[in-house]
């Protein structure tokens, strides 16, 4: 009797760092899980379900297992990893916002290694604006130990304010909800517009490997693409490939129930709808990250690489409106950080000091258009928030949404 081989994790391009034996075995286990799921569903899986599996499968997904993801030893770098200036600047926004709404709680979604929480809490302690509670919610339980280690440098009385959550709070908070590079990790549907209709992109098993496949889009996805085209005022050209996030509206709706009074602040890479679905962006925005190499082979090394798509900020604003939230501010990260006081923080150190030189270079990475300054956007949503949002008082591009 012949046993059919399980699909392999794929072959890396020449010169790329290879995973060690433990990581390779981990990916092979996830491949078997994926193959079983395909077999149970007639050898078909939508891209959205593939992304859900490879990122979040318990104990096997990229964000659910214990591998290093962030920083020089991982696959990508986030703004808190680039510079403590990011967290220090956000701390000012947090303090002002909590004061404006008489809030006492900060809830951070997807806190990574805990570096943003560390920098915010350290700066808010210095400013005497600490919240009563700093809540941390992450889909990956394996990151909690690393987050706790990162926060161990804080005084006991500050760490005592930190609480970890497995789900959204049972009671709505008064305060601030923070999400830095969280929206881009929500699973997306990939589709292709054809003259004959909308195609749903997905995966089928092809021998001993996985292969990209397509089928006629289910009615819901086809209707979402057609609604998107109505909003754009034009039909996408035949062969146009892109993404949309079907989970966004219910996710924002659920999140809105956790905020009684205060702000939600999202910072992520993305575009307004007209820019996202520009005719020249005809292959979508999907990107994969493996050991600081950005590429588009999303079938490679399941469980060992990040999959991400840019954020349609117009869709976020529409979802917020449907959830009864106010859309209060939208601006590039550079404008938001400038209005929140980053340049003032830089001016606090002697210009000749070595630390000042290093911070200046870090600030450039956060703010230059060629770096993170224009690629990343900040969006503020509110409920019963009584004052203008400080980070958008200099520049507010709401009309672009």
* DSSP codes of every residue in 72-127: TTSSB--HHHH-HHHHHHHHHHHHHHHHHHT--EEEEES-TTSHHHHHHHHHHHHH
Would you say residue 9 lies in a domain? Answer: no
CATH at residue 246:
3.40.50.12710
Would you say residue 13 lies in a domain? Answer: no
81, burial (CB in 10 Å: exposed 0-12, middle 13-18, buried 19+): middle
Would you say residue 267 lies in a domain? Answer: yes
pTM summary value:
0.93
Would you say residue 25 lies in a domain? Answer: yes
Task: Going residue by residue through the chain, which has 401 residues, state the pLDDT in tens, using 9 for 90 and above.
Answer: 334 556 767 778 888 888 888 888 999 999 999 999 999 999 999 999 999 999 999 889 888 875 656 656 566 788 999 899 999 999 999 999 999 999 999 999 999 999 999 999 999 999 999 999 999 998 666 788 889 999 999 999 999 999 999 999 999 999 999 999 999 999 999 999 999 999 999 999 988 889 999 999 999 999 999 999 999 999 999 999 999 999 999 999 999 999 999 999 999 999 999 999 999 999 999 999 988 888 999 999 999 999 999 999 999 999 999 999 999 999 999 999 999 998 888 877 665 566 777 888 888 889 988 889 899 999 999 999 987 898 999 899 999 99
Q: Per the structure block, which two tokens stand in for 50?
A: 């593939």
Would you say residue 210 lies in a domain? Answer: yes
Main-chain phi, psi angles of 44, to 5 degrees = -145, 140
Residue 251 Cα distances to 139, 168, 244, 286, 395, angstroms: 14, 11, 14, 20, 28
Residue span of the structural domain in which 256 resides: 21-401
- CB-CB contact of 307 with 55 (8 Å): yes
Would you say residue 125 lies in a domain? Answer: yes
- CB-CB contact of 84 with 110 (8 Å): no
Would you say residue 1 lies in a domain? Answer: no
* Number of domains forming the structure of the chain: 1
Buried/exposed 209-232: b ≥16 CB within 10 Å, e otherwise: ebeebbeebeeebbebbbebeeee
What distance in Å separates the CA atoms of residue 174 and residue 189, rounded to the nearest whole number? Answer: 34
Would you say residue 314 lies in a domain? Answer: yes
């Amino acid at each position: 009797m012949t046993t059919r081989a399980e699909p392999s994790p794929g072959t890396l391009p020449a010169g790329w760092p290879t995973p060690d034996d433990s990581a390779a075995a981990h990916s092979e286990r996830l491949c078997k899980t994926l193959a079983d799921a395909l077999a149970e569903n007639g050898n078909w899986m939508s891209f959205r379900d593939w992304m859900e599996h490879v990122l979040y499968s318990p104990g096997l997904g990229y964000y659910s297992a214990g591998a290093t993801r962030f920083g020089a030893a991982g696959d990508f770098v986030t703004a808190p990893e680039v510079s403590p200036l990011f967290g220090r600047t956000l701390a000012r926004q947090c303090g002002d916002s909590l004061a404006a709404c008489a809030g006492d709680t900060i809830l951070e979604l997807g806190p990574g290694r805990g570096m943003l929480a560390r920098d915010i809490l350290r700066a808010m302690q210095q400013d005497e604006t600490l919240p009563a509670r700093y809540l941390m919610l992450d889909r990956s339980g394996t990151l909690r130990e690393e987050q706790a280690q990162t926060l161990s440098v804080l005084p006991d009385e500050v760490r005592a304010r930190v609480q970890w959550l497995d789900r959204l709070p049972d009671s709505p908070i008064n305060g601030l909800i923070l999400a830095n590079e969280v929206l881009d990790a929500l699973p997306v549907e990939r589709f292709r517009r054809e003259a004959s209709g909308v195609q749903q992109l997905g995966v089928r098993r092809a021998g001993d490997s996985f292969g990209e496949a397509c089928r006629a889009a289910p009615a819901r996805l086809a209707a979402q693409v057609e609604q998107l085209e109505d909003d754009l005022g034009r039909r996408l050209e035949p062969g146009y490939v892109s993404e949309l996030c079907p989970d966004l509206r219910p996710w924002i709706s659920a999140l809105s129930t956790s905020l009684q009074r205060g702000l939600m602040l999202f910072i992520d890479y993305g575009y307004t709808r007209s820019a996202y679905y520009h005719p020249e962006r005809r292959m979508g925005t999907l990107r994969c990250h493996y050991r600081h190499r950005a590429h588009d082979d999303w079938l490679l090394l399941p469980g060992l690489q990040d999959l991400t798509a840019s954020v349609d900020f117009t869709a976020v604003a529409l979802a917020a409106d449907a959830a009864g939230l106010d859309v209060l501010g939208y601006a590039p990260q550079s404008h938001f950080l400038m209005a929140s006081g980053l340049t003032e923080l830089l001016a606090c150190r002697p210009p000749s000091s070595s630390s000042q030189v290093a911070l200046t270079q870090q600030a450039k990475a956060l703010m230059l258009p060629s770096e993170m300054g224009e690629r990343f956007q900040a969006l503020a949503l509110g409920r019963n928030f009584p004052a203008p949002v400080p980070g958008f008082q200099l520049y507010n591009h709401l009309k672009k949404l």
